[in-house]
Amino acid sequence: MGVTKNGALIGEAIIINNQALAEGFAFHVQQRGGMLSRGRLPGIQFVALFKDNLYFELAAHANKMVMKLSEGLLAHGLQLETDTATNQIFTALPDALIARLQEKFDFYVWCRKTADSSVARLVTSWATPEEKADEFVMLL
């Protein structure tokens, strides 16, 4: 479970539901350098984020913004490379449109799709203003 989508500086929690997999897990993480020596400091972020459902409220906002973008892309006849299930979208866009959008927005061009289009990765977060999502859709 990552928390940077919701405003944390760093941190992930691994939730193990199968107790057979949990045996020795902490030892292996420590031996392979996956555990911070001062792990309680990033852990404080989890305490704050899970208090009063803040984590879920922030995630709901990020998900609402990504759905706004997803629906806007589809409404403009653009295609999604995958279903929108998280706070990120992979969409095929004409390279000319990518150039215009990148004048106002930062996003990653994932790979070339055709001779004149590429797949862009769009990501929202707890801090994505709704006005920016609306502006992005308007510029499509």
Give the integer Cα–Cα distance in Å for 134 and 115: 29
Tokens of 35: 């555990």
The whole model's pTM is what? Answer: 0.80
Give the integer Cα–Cα distance in Å for 52 and 95: 44
Give the residue among 129, 137, 126, 136 at the shortest CA–CA distance from 61: 126
- Hey, where are the domains in the chain? 4-52, 55-139
Give the integer Cα–Cα distance in Å for 119 and 81: 8
Topology given in CATH for the domain delimited by 55-139: Aspartate Aminotransferase, domain 1 (3.90.1150)
Give the integer Cα–Cα distance in Å for 26 and 43: 15
Give the residue among 65, 38, 43, 70 at the shortest CA–CA distance from 129: 65
Strands of the sheet with 79-80, listed across from one edge: 79-80, 88-94, 117-123, 108-114
pLDDT band at 31 (very low <50, low <70, confident <90, very high): confident
Output the pLDDT for position 34. Answer: 65
In tens, the pLDDT along 103-135 reads: 999 999 999 999 999 999 999 999 999 999 999
Tokens of 22: 């949990």
In tens, the pLDDT along 41-99 reads: 778 888 899 999 999 999 999 999 999 999 999 999 999 999 988 899 999 999 999 99
